[in-house]
């Protein structure tokens, strides 16, 4: 019976804890009367603010939780992006798409820190820059990874994983367009729902990396300065049925 590597739990834990953290922020904001509920009708929203994620995490105590959640999510998402890059590196013939994906993910994670640490009311311009980076580059990353999934075809699972990832990427892109269109028309309750759906789809996409991570072992090697450094080709070599990617 084949064993699953513990690294597979990293994307799953990232998805679970980030999802729980964001919904905790939402419920705190609702209980404090800062935003209306997502289930509210547009005509009954009253004087409360629409339930956008940024507005939910705009004022304390929800903003404190929101900053912590976004910072931790950005850090773990960056680690997942690096591990995914290392996993694909020995398998792709042309590394450009893999490198661009890593850069896009890194900048998207930086955008997440901007969203979490610069609240909408304190610095709206910088907050919106972070939002654009997170959603725009994050969506680009999803499309690139969907294509790489089909190209690399790990253990002949490329088609079974690639098609759902393309569907998730399409859902993410549709939510962005829907979110922007509804905001333009002033339908804020529906736009907020599209934004929450967008984030949930994105977290679900990243959690799907657990399927490929279950085959791989990532190790950190420490050596003396006198020892000759290992080349990348030597470092990332396959060991039996598992790939040992070493940082």
Query: What distance in Å separates the CA atoms of residue 116 and residue 122, rounded to the nearest whole number?
Result: 12
Between 142 and 154, residue with greater pLDDT: 142
pLDDT of residue 2: 55
pLDDT digits (tens, 9 = 90+) for 122-153: 899 999 999 999 999 999 999 999 999 988 87
Across the beta sheet with 237-239, the strand order is: 216-219, 242-246, 237-239
| 222 within a domain of the structure (yes/no) | no
| 235 within a domain of the structure (yes/no) | no
Asked if pLDDT for residue 111 goes beyond 70, the answer is: yes
| 134 within a domain of the structure (yes/no) | yes
Q: Read off the tokens for 174.
A: 């549709």
Domain of residue 68 covers: 6-217
Q: At what angle do helices 62-88 and 96-117 cross, to 10 degrees?
A: 170
Q: At what angle do helices 158-184 and 188-207 cross, to 10 degrees?
A: 160
Window from 17-26, 30-39, 52-61, 215-224 with minimum mean pLDDT: 215-224
Asked if pLDDT for residue 7 goes beyond 50, the answer is: yes
13: nearest Cα among 207, 197, 165, 196: 207
Please give the DSSP secondary-structure letter assigned to residue 216.
E
pLDDT digits (tens, 9 = 90+) for 187-242: 999 999 999 999 999 999 999 999 888 876 766 676 666 655 544 444 444 433 44
pLDDT of residue 245: 41
pTM here is 0.83
Asked if pLDDT for residue 43 goes beyond 70, the answer is: no
| 245 within a domain of the structure (yes/no) | no
Please give the DSSP secondary-structure letter assigned to residue 243.
E
Among residues of the chain, what percentage have pLDDT more than 70?
84
65: nearest Cα among 109, 32, 98, 105: 32
Pairing of strands 216-219, 237-239: unpaired
pLDDT of residue 225: 65
pLDDT of residue 214: 81
| 110 within a domain of the structure (yes/no) | yes
| 209 within a domain of the structure (yes/no) | yes
Q: Length of the chain, please?
A: 247
Find the helix or strand (DSSP H, E) in which 219 lies.
Answer: strand 216-219
Query: What distance in Å separates the CA atoms of residue 102 and residue 104, rounded to the nearest whole number?
Result: 5
| 17 within a domain of the structure (yes/no) | yes
Q: How many structural domains comprise the chain?
A: 1
| 207 within a domain of the structure (yes/no) | yes
């Amino acid at each position: 019976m084949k064993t699953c590597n513990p690294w597979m739990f990293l994307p799953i834990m990232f998805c679970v804890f980030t999802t729980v953290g964001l919904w905790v922020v939402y419920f705190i904001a609702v209980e404090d009367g800062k935003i209306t509920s997502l289930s509210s009708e547009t005509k009954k929203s009253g004087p409360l603010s629409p339930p956008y994620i940024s507005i939910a995490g705009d004022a304390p105590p929800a903003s404190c939780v929101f900053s912590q959640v976004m910072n931790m999510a950005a850090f773990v998402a960056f680690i997942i992006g690096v591990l995914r890059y290392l996993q694909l590196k020995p398998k792709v013939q042309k590394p450009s798409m893999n490198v661009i994906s890593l850069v896009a993910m890194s900048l998207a994670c930086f955008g997440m820190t901007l969203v979490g640490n610069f609240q909408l009311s304190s610095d709206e311009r910088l907050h919106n820059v972070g939002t654009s980076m997170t959603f725009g580059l994050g969506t680009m990353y999803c499309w690139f990874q969907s294509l790489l999934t089909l190209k690399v075809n790990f253990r002949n699972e490329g088609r079974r994983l690639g098609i759902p990832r393309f569907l998730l990427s399409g859902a993410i892109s549709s939510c962005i367009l829907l979110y922007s269109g509804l905001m333009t028309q002033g339908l804020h309750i529906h736009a907020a729902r599209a934004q929450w759906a967008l984030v949930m789809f994105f977290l679900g996409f990243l959690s799907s990396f657990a399927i490929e991570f279950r085959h791989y072992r990532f190790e950190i090697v420490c050596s003396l300065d006198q020892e000759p450094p290992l080349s990348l080709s030597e470092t990332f070599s396959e060991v039996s049925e598992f790939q040992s990617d070493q940082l």
